[in-house]
C-alpha cells in the first residue's frame, strides 16, 4: 500500500457528474466482458489501486498466477489510488460495465452499496476454490458480510505499527535481546520516550503531524481511543458514539507528549519517514507499508505492535479485500474463474506480506516462508486485535472522515487547538458527515 494521501481536491471536490462528463465511464471503464476469450480461456479483469512497493509485489503475484493458471486469461489494470479509484469503480458498477474482480478497502464496503455496486460471492464457488470462513479471523471475515451474504474476501490487514531503531533503544535500555521490551501502559511509553531522548538529545517519536491530506493524526487517535473500549460511531455507522471522557483522556495524552518535546511537533509525511530513516529518532508510528523504505535505508530497525497504552492491545487498521463489482448478468464461468483467482492470491500471499501487510488467510501466518520475514512476521498476532472504522459510507481508507479528522487532530499536535477544542470540532465534522448523503449513484444513505 502506498502512503494513503489522496489530494483533498480529489476527495472533496471531484463531483460524480464531472467525472462522468470527463468520460470515466468510457472505454477505459470496461466494456462488455465475454465469459471466454477467443483462445478458449476464461477471461477475467482485475482492477486494483496498488502502486509503489505494493505495486511491484502485486505484479509479481499476478505474473505467477498467469503461469500457474494458463486456463484463465487475466487482465489487470492499475488505477489511481484513493478517491479517483473508488469513484470510477462505483460508477462502473452502477453502469453495469465493471471488471470481474476488484480490490477494495474493507472499511469502505458499507458505502459501496452491496447488492447495487458490488455483488455477493457464491459460497459454493469460494469453497470450490478453497476459501473457507474458518481460515480467516472471525471479525475480519464478518466485516465482509452484509445481511448474511459475503461481499468481500480479505487479503490482508494493514494496521498502525510501531517502528523502532534497535541501536538507540539498546543504548536506552529498552531492548530485550533482538526485540523491544514490552511496554505496559501510557506511563511506561512516556518513560521509554524519555529514555530514548536522553540518548539522542532529540524528540524520541516522529509521525506525520501536518501537511495536505494529513491522516496519520486520525489513525493515532483511532488506535489509542479504541484501546479505551470506545467507538467513534454506532455499530451501524449511522450515529455518533464518541465518549467525551475517553476521547479527552487520549487527546490530552497525545498533546502532553508533544508539549514535553518527546514527539516531533511539526513534520509532514515525507519528513517523518525521512527523520526515522536517517536514525535521528527512536520511534515512528505509521502504517506497516514503510518497511521496504526502511530496509532499503539501511538503518537498523525493527517493528512491533502498538503498545496497549489505554487498556486493550488494539490498533487502527483497514484491510485490502477482493470484491465482485456489480454486473448486470453474472456468468458462472467467469465467477468460478474469479473465485479461483481470489483463492490462489490468498494461498500465495507470502509475497504480498513482504510489503509489511499481515496476511488475512491464517494458513499463510504459519508458513515457514512468512515466518522467515523479519520484521514483517514479528507483529502478526495483531490480526486478532485490529479495529476497522464502523460501517459508514464516509469511512475507510482515502475517505472523507480520515481527511476531515486528520486535519482536526493535526491542529492538536501542532498546538493550534486544545484537546477540548479538537474534540468539539471532531464531533461537529462527524455530525456533518452523518447528515450528508452518500454521493455514489444508486446508493441510499
pLDDT tens digits for range 376-421: 999 999 999 999 999 999 999 989 999 999 999 999 999 999 999 9
The percentage of residues in the chain with a pLDDT greater than 90, rounded to a whole number, is 83
Rounded CA-CA distance 248/188 in Å is 20
**pLDDT at residue 95, as a whole number:** 84
pLDDT digits 0-9 by tens, 84-94: 999 899 889 88
Residue range 8-155+319-373 forms a domain whose CATH class is: alpha beta
Kindly state the average pLDDT of the residues 124-146: 97
Omega within 30 of 0 (cis) for the link into 375: yes
Q: Is the dihedral of CA 45, 399, 107, 382 positive or negative?
A: positive
At 38 the pLDDT is 53
The percent of residues in the chain predicted with pLDDT above 70, rounded, is 90
Could you read off the pLDDT of 224-247 as tens digits, one per residue?
A: 999 999 999 999 999 999 999 999
What confidence score (pLDDT) does residue 445 get? 54
Q: What is the pLDDT of residue 114?
A: 79
Domain with CATH 3.40.190.10 in the chain: 8-155+319-373, 159-317+391-434
Structural Rg of the chain based on CA atoms: 22
439 CB-contact burial (10 Å; exposed 0-12 / middle 13-18 / buried 19+): middle
3-state secondary structure of 325: strand
If you average pLDDT over every residue of the chain, what do you get? 91
Give the span between the Cα atoms of 90 and 102, in whole angstroms.
Answer: 11
Could you tell me which residue, 184 or 114, shows the higher pLDDT? 184
What pLDDT, on a 0 to 100 scale, did the predictor assign at position 93?
86
Look at residue 66 and tell me whether its pLDDT is greater than 50. Answer: yes
Short-list 390, 436, 1, 13, CA closest to 213: 13
Residues 6+ apart with CB under 8 A from 135: 361, 362, 363
| Spatial separation of the C-alpha atoms in residues 223 and 162, rounded to whole Å | 12
Using one digit for the tens of pLDDT, what is the confidence trace for 181-207? 999 999 999 999 999 999 999 999 999
d(CA 169, CA 345): 37
- In angstroms, the CA 87 to CA 10 distance is 10
What is the per-residue pLDDT across 31-44, written as a single tens digit (0 to 9) for each?
344 445 556 899 99
pLDDT at 36: 53
Residue whose C-alpha cell is 494458463: 70
- Side-chain half-sphere exposure of 276, counting CA atoms within 13 A: 32
Its pTM surpasses 0.75: yes
- Cβ density class 296-323: b for 16+ within 10 Å, e for less: ebebebbbbbbbbbbeeebbbbbbbbbb
- The answer on pLDDT for 19 being more than 60 is no
Average pLDDT score over residue span 254-262? 98
pLDDT digits (tens, 9 = 90+) for 266-298: 999 999 999 999 999 999 999 999 999 999 999
Q: So what's the pLDDT on residue 441?
A: 65
Q: Which residue has the higher pLDDT, 222 or 213?
A: 222
Would the pLDDT of 443 be above 70?
no
Question: pLDDT at residue 68 above 60?
Answer: yes
Evaluate if residue 18 carries a pLDDT over 70: no
**24-28, 45-49, 113-117, range with greatest mean pLDDT:** 45-49
Contact of 163 with 276, CB cutoff 8 Å: yes
- Residue 20 pLDDT > 70: no
Burial class, 417, CB count within 10 angstroms (exposed 0-12 / middle 13-18 / buried 19+): buried
Residue 52 burial (10 A CB sphere; 0-12, 13-18, 19+):
middle
Which pLDDT belongs to residue 3? 47
Residue 20 grid cell: 462522468
State the number of CA atoms in the 13 A half-sphere of 27 facing the CB.
0
pLDDT in tens, 397-406: 989 999 999 9
Residue 329: what pLDDT?
86
- CATH architecture of structural domain 159-317+391-434: 3-Layer(aba) Sandwich (3.40)
What local confidence, expressed as pLDDT, does residue 243 receive? Answer: 98
Amino acid at each position: 500500500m502506498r502512503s494513503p494521501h489522496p489530494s483533498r481536491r480529489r476527495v472533496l471536490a471531484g463531483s460524480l457528474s464531472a467525472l462522468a462528463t470527463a468520460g470515466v465511464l468510457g472505454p477505459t471503464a470496461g466494456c462488455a466482458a465475454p465469459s471466454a476469450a477467443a483462445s478458449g480461456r476464461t477471461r477475467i479483469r482485475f482492477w486494483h489501486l496498488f502502486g509503489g512497493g505494493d505495486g511491484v509485489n502485486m505484479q509479481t503475484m499476478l505474473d505467477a498466477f498467469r503461469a500457474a493458471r494458463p486456463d484463465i486469461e487475466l487482465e489487470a489494470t492499475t488505477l489511481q489510488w484513493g478517491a479517483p479509484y473508488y469513484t470510477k469503480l462505483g460508477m462502473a458498477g452502477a453502469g453495469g460495465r465493471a471488471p470481474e474482480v476488484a480490490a477494495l478497502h474493507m472499511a469502505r464496503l458499507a458505502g459501496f452499496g452491496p447488492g447495487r455496486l458490488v455483488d455477493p460471492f457464491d459460497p459454493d464457488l469460494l469453497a470450490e476454490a478453497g476459501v473457507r470462513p474458518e481460515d480467516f479471523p472471525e471479525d475480519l471475515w464478518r466485516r465482509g458480510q452484509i445481511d448474511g451474504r459475503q461481499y468481500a474476501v480479505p487479503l490482508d490487514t494493514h494496521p498502525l505499527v510501531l517502528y523502532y531503531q534497535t541501536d538507540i533503544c539498546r543504548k536506552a535500555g529498552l531492548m530485550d535481546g533482538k526485540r523491544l521490551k514490552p511496554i505496559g501502559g501510557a506511563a511506561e511509553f512516556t518513560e521509554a520516550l524519555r529514555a530514548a531522548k536522553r540518548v539522542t538529545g532529540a524528540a524520541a517519536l516522529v509521525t506525520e503531524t501536518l501537511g495536505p491530506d494529513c491522516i496519520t493524526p486520525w489513525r493515532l487517535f483511532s488506535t489509542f481511543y479504541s484501546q479505551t473500549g470506545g467507538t467513534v460511531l454506532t455499530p451501524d455507522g449511522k450515529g455518533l458514539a464518541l465518549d467525551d471522557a475517553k476521547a479527552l483522556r487520549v487527546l490530552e495524552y497525545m498533546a502532553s507528549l508533544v508539549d514535553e518535546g518527546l514527539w516531533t511537533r511539526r513534520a509532514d509525511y515525507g519528513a517523518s519517514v525521512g527523520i526515522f530513516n536517517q536514525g535521528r529518532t527512536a520511534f515512528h508510528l505509521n502504517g506497516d507499508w514503510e518497511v521496504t523504505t526502511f530496509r532499503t535505508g539501511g538503518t537498523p530497525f525493527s517493528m512491533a505492535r502498538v503498545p496497549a497504552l489505554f487498556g486493550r492491545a488494539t490498533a487502527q487498521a483497514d484491510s485490502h479485500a477482493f470484491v465482485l463489482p456489480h454486473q448486470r448478468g453474472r456468468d458462472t464461468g467467469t465467477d468460478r474463474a474469479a473465485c479461483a483467482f481470489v483463492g490462489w492470491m490468498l494461498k500465495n500471499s507470502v509475497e504480498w506480506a513482504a510489503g509489511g501487510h499481515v496476511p488475512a488467510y491464517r494458513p499463510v501466518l504459519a508458513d515457514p516462508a512468512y515466518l522467515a520475514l523479519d520484521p514483517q512476521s514479528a507483529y502478526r498476532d495483531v490480526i486478532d486485535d485490529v479495529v476497522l472504522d464502523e460501517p459508514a459510507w464516509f469511512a475507510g481508507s482515502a475517505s472523507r472522515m480520515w481527511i476531515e479528522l486528520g486535519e482536526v487532530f493535526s491542529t492538536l499536535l501542532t498546538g493550534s487547538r486544545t484537546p477540548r477544542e479538537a474534540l468539539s470540532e471532531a464531533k461537529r465534522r462527524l455530525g456533518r458527515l452523518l447528515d450528508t448523503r452518500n454521493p455514489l449513484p444508486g446508493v441510499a444513505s
